[in-house]
Structure 1
């Protein structure tokens, strides 16, 4: 694995940020002038540099996020892009407000629970569904960023796409991560016409790491986007092309012009809760981030600092908290405009106590079933498959504003269908393929027209007990995102690790009977200790996390980029 380059410059002294959280007491707006060290962490050095260039021109964190996303969609197309969706939490230093933005895709209005069923009523194979026209929802990431930019941007929208346009026109060097994906070709999208045309070498093989790749169609799209704005995702030639592409076989979809015209991103209060002496803020549903808060409340019942990173008991707590978190998440989380999600009840102190009581330190518990928080609707269990084609960025600007954003096209290269030089998402495969059980019980995350599929994306902002902004973190990884984020938060907040050491900790993903551990990174005595407790461990060689995070510790900036990918942390003047 490539280790990330952690590039920093000499730090200026920086004052602690003070804020009021949505849903909490709001502190007075800041009137004093303040300058903070700008920071960008993103999954590709070219994207991080594009963001830093914007920050050093006086742009805000939102301005930089637009530039980072535009470049990531070009140089890391397996993970995110203009044709995908995103969740973002944003901290405004001046007003002390924390806002959650929802750019999740929506299903066509005509969609029903039969979307991913065969004629005989059985679910489509995932490999067929993921490259189908039915898999694409209305893209929301760029519309979400434009909404946020209108409120929090400083530079002009048209000036945020220069890096992406230049790289697309002049070409960029294929990174090892992208090159490795192409070399393996072990994904359904590798057989699509558009993937072969874009990445093929003309001799039946694939372009390789280190080769230069140009994308004039992408350059043309970002020029139009810069000039006209995100309205091009509401109507016009680009929308027509997306509709045409998704209506092609096999398994054509049914997106219509009105689905695009009536799509709007959402914004509102973040969901915030305490964790020991900290406050953690995340997006509301259909993000599953409230399940991360639930897991933290379970972990909070145990002396994690006493256990430490080298104690099997600490890792047991993480395992059991994850299993409980996923059991409830699979049962209850979905688009809260369509189903009643027990956001508060899942974190109710009495309910948390009932879940904690299922954990016995030193002894493996049976795989848990979902619980029954107060007034929760008993939906059917959902076993949705959620791939790991996603990315995460964290940004702070010189004004003290901050962004934590997770963005995706879902599976690797989305559906493998391209329009305007970018890949279309396969986000609708995040819905449950089976809408009801054999006995007629409905699944909360069933397909419905206009609905947003449940997501594991869970960008995080961190505050201290006095509501000072002190950090941010997040990761890609499909359903494992929640586990990756939990590990990193425990590492930083409980075990006192640097952000870099916390994101590099072995990943542990425990969902039901399956418990995966990155064995090469885990100390052998911890593995043996967990096995001695009665756990059956799947020892794996790599988990597809891509954690990026920053902690602000007085006058020091503590950034971390996941060594499993090729991201970097940049700190400006």
Structure 2
């Protein structure tokens, strides 16, 4: 089974499973298809993370996060000594990190794939060559950029009419440049992306960009290396939660939030309880404070991940949470091994797509892929969009003279919120594979899904459908038009400043083992679907 944010991408993965492929084969085909049909969110011009469990074993995780050019310095996002506004930094060349998805999935394929590399490209090539229908979600994303100069001419030519209007919902779009490029990479292998004409095209696009030209070299592209990283795992009630470690903050944020909630009986409270959602918000506030202060690329900063995941430390953090009032100031704690770092100001994160695959052998993949904002940097090369991941770095390299863990440095990976997660049942078998899209809301979406399954005893589908609460700081955000918005006065009475977020911000996918079989789940807010073999 495959669950993805677009049914055509899920079908691409399922096609690999029918051909005898593994979950990794299916995930790669899904990623490639998303490059075509969901170009605003994901693709080979970006990066991602993969959590893989072989036949129920403890997971291995792959870091495919983009890197900054070697020439990048801590003042990369400063203008006249001040951090640039995000909307000014996003478009053009400086926001582009070295695309990394293909290096990551090639590494996973070598270790866990069965089908030939070229076969994985078949569905994506057909979609790009023969055409695909424009969905409402893609159309709406294109419409938002209709009057801006953020998209390059090549990008605009694909999806806009000569009069500047967006191609309508249901229109068939063909991307022959992408089809030809995918055929080339299928035939020549993943290294052809990182050296030769494509690498030079990336460098030319970002260094000669009309907005924010970069300083990337072909050496930056050629030297990119995906890495296997230690997972972040820990117990929550009788379950084992495993996710992605740094450079992602997703795994530790999800686990810390859950572990801090463990002493509260969420099951007895239930999903209609104001107290339950208040406790989730309070725990998120503490976990996000720690991640903001301490998490960065572990190759560049000392991330105290062991201390942050320590049960005694998290018990102390949990003791700060009260069921009947709000913590006045949710500051970062001091876990064992914490270096002297300062937390930066919060900044937006966007975009992304998540997909999950399980094969007939019981191998499970939970993978999140992104190009960051809608259409990334707006630059297009060979029919695919280049990311704007470098805006995930902290724009200010220091706070009050204290270094920020997520500051820009040459060759460094920006911190991510992506949280591909696998949950193991008390019997040790995979119970749930889940992840989400939506920038910094990703850990909160995954937390809500796990609480829904483990504590509220919901199906994965119903857990994904639960309304969203997101508390990265003093303000609690609830999903507009849901029972959580109706609860806002009671949350405010507990001390929470409450604001609403539109439901289009959220997008999650999952597969669960339930009642002796695999069952897929896709966020009802999205166009996603689960397709079985």
**TM-score, with length taken from structure 1:** 0.90
Instruction: Determine if the alignment matches structure 1 residue 459 to structure 2 residue 420.
Output: yes
Residue 141 of structure 1: which of 88, 101, 107 is its match? 101
In 2, the alpha carbon distance for the partners of 1:125 and 1:526 equals 34
Ranges in structure 1 where 5+ consecutive residues have no aligned partner = 1-38
Instruction: Determine if the alignment matches structure 1 residue 169 to structure 2 residue 125.
Output: no
In 1, the alpha carbon distance for the partners of 2:151 and 2:428 equals 50
In 2, the alpha carbon distance for the partners of 1:356 and 1:60 equals 40
What is the aligned residue count?
A: 531
Q: Match for residue 5 of structure 1?
A: none
Q: Match for residue 376 of structure 1?
A: 338
Q: Match for residue 474 of structure 2?
A: 513
Cα deviation 1:401-424 (Å, max 9, x = unaligned): 110000000111010100010000
Aligned residue for 1:481, secondary structure, equals helix
Q: Match for residue 206 of structure 1?
A: 166
Q: Match for residue 30 of structure 1?
A: none
Q: Match for residue 304 of structure 1?
A: 266
Cα deviation 1:29-80 (Å, max 9, x = unaligned): xxxxxxxxxx100010110111111101111111111111111011101100
In 1, the alpha carbon distance for the partners of 2:151 and 2:15 equals 37
Q: Match for residue 185 of structure 2?
A: 225
Q: Match for residue 285 of structure 2?
A: 323
Cα deviation 1:113-160 (Å, max 9, x = unaligned): 111111x21112211211121111111111100111011111100111
Structure 1 331/172 Cα, relative in aligned 2: closer, same or farther at 3 Å?
same
Within 5 Å, give how 1:106-117 maps onto structure 2.
106-117=67-78
Q: RMSD in angstroms over aligned alpha carbons?
A: 1.6
Within 5 Å, give how 1:271-286 maps onto structure 2.
271-286=232-247
In 2, the alpha carbon distance for the partners of 1:141 and 1:252 equals 23
Within 5 Å, give how 1:251-290 maps onto structure 2.
251-288=212-249, 289-290=251-252
Cα deviation 1:514-540 (Å, max 9, x = unaligned): 211114222576434323322221133
Structure 1 189/72 Cα, relative in aligned 2: closer, same or farther at 3 Å?
farther
Q: Match for residue 384 of structure 2?
A: 422
Q: Is the 8 A contact 1:100 1:270 kept in 2?
A: yes
Instruction: Determine if the alignment matches structure 1 residue 530 to structure 2 residue 491.
Output: yes
Aligned residue for 1:204, secondary structure, equals coil
Q: Is the 8 A contact 1:475 1:545 kept in 2?
A: yes
Superposition deviation, residue 443 in structure 1: 0.5
Aligned residue for 1:520, secondary structure, equals coil
Q: Match for residue 486 of structure 1?
A: 447
Q: Is the 8 A contact 2:379 2:385 kept in 1?
A: yes
Cα deviation 1:90-133 (Å, max 9, x = unaligned): 01118x34210011001111110111111x21112211211121
Instruction: Determine if the alignment matches structure 1 residue 569 to structure 2 residue 491.
Output: no
Within 5 Å, give how 1:349-364 maps onto structure 2.
349-364=311-326
Q: Match for residue 80 of structure 1?
A: 42
Q: Is the 8 A contact 1:312 1:527 kept in 2?
A: no
Cα deviation 1:430-474 (Å, max 9, x = unaligned): 10111112x321100000111100000010011123321222000
Instruction: Determine if the alignment matches structure 1 residue 345 to structure 2 residue 345.
Output: no
In 2, the alpha carbon distance for the partners of 1:414 and 1:566 equals 20
Aligned residue for 1:242, secondary structure, equals helix
Ranges in structure 2 where 5+ consecutive residues have no aligned partner = none
In 2, the alpha carbon distance for the partners of 1:392 and 1:433 equals 26
